[in-house]
Amino acid sequence: MIKESDLQAEQASQREVVPAGDYYMQVLKAGQTLRILDLEGNQAADTLFYSAADPSERYSAMDTIREQGNVYLTAGTKLLSNLGREMLTITADTCGHHDTLGGACATESNTVRYSLDKKCMHACRDSWLLAVAENEQYGLTKRDITHNINFFMNVPITAAGGLTFEDGISGAGKYVEMRAEMDVIVLMSNCPQLNNPCNGYNPTPVEMLIWDAA
């Protein structure tokens, strides 16, 4: 569902441009709003959320999909935790829908999907592992890296029930915005994937903007 935001970028309290292949790790306080802005279009932002109070509580694709009765995420979606609690609510979306089934790219999946010589290519899972290692204060480890949201990524379900990675539906300047319902750790890998069309074969930066509670 397309829904535009009333928030003005000039009034954001934090802004950070994240290059493709880099990560963003930040606490979003309850009441704050986060916008992920697709600066150049057709970029995938692979994102995980954890409760800042207890990171063993985390975003759950299964709970979110089951409760809303829809596999796609968009404005109005409540992002639920593995304890069934509301972590964030998507408040605006100019892209239309977002994937939470496709998973993140990894060196292992790159070799299975594409070829053995893709093993050394940069992947989202490595960016998350680096983020966890460089930010020990959050108390996260490798075992906390679980299923995620692929903001802006287009992964339609086929008639036969499969999934395909398709050319994106996002474009330059499109964004998705969400309000935190609890203090959450945001962990986003700006996808460096070069082998499928999730980034239009040209990974580009995204911007992360935060507004304080009104």
Shortest gap between Cβ of 128 and Zn ion (angstroms)? 10
| Site for Zn ion contains 28 (CB under 5 A) | no
Residues 36 and 17: their CA atoms lie apart, in Å, by 10
Please identify, using beta-carbon distances, which residue of 81 and 193 lies nearer to Zn ion: 193
Shortest gap between Cβ of 199 and Zn ion (angstroms)? 8
Residues 105 and 198: their CA atoms lie apart, in Å, by 10
Please identify, using beta-carbon distances, which residue of 33 and 193 lies nearer to Zn ion: 193
| Site for Zn ion contains 18 (CB under 5 A) | no
| Site for Zn ion contains 191 (CB under 5 A) | yes
Subset of 85-104 contacting Zn ion (CB under 5 A) = none
Q: What is each CA distance from 12 to 78, 171, 196, in whole angstroms?
A: 23, 22, 33
Q: What is each CA distance from 214 to 28, 33, 94, 191, 211, in whole angstroms?
A: 14, 10, 22, 32, 8
Please identify, using beta-carbon distances, which residue of 135 and 195 lies nearer to Zn ion: 195
Select from 88-96, 110-118, 167-175, 188-196 the region that touches Zn ion (CB under 5 A): 188-196
- Under 8 Å between Cβ of 38 and 206: yes
| Site for Zn ion contains 193 (CB under 5 A) | yes
Q: Which helix (H) or strand (E) holds 130?
A: helix 124-134
Q: What is each CA distance from 149 to 9, 11, 12, 181, in whole angstroms?
A: 24, 27, 23, 17
Residue recorded with tokens 């100019």: 94
Residues 31 and 39: their CA atoms lie apart, in Å, by 25
Q: How many residues does the chain have?
A: 214
| Site for Zn ion contains 124 (CB under 5 A) | yes
Please identify, using beta-carbon distances, which residue of 71 and 106 lies nearer to Zn ion: 106
Please identify, using beta-carbon distances, which residue of 191 and 209 lies nearer to Zn ion: 191
Please identify, using beta-carbon distances, which residue of 95 and 105 lies nearer to Zn ion: 105
| Site for Zn ion contains 199 (CB under 5 A) | no
Number of residues that bind Zn ion (CB under 5 A): 4
Shortest gap between Cβ of 55 and Zn ion (angstroms)? 22
Residues making contact with Zn ion (CB under 5 A):
105, 124, 191, 193
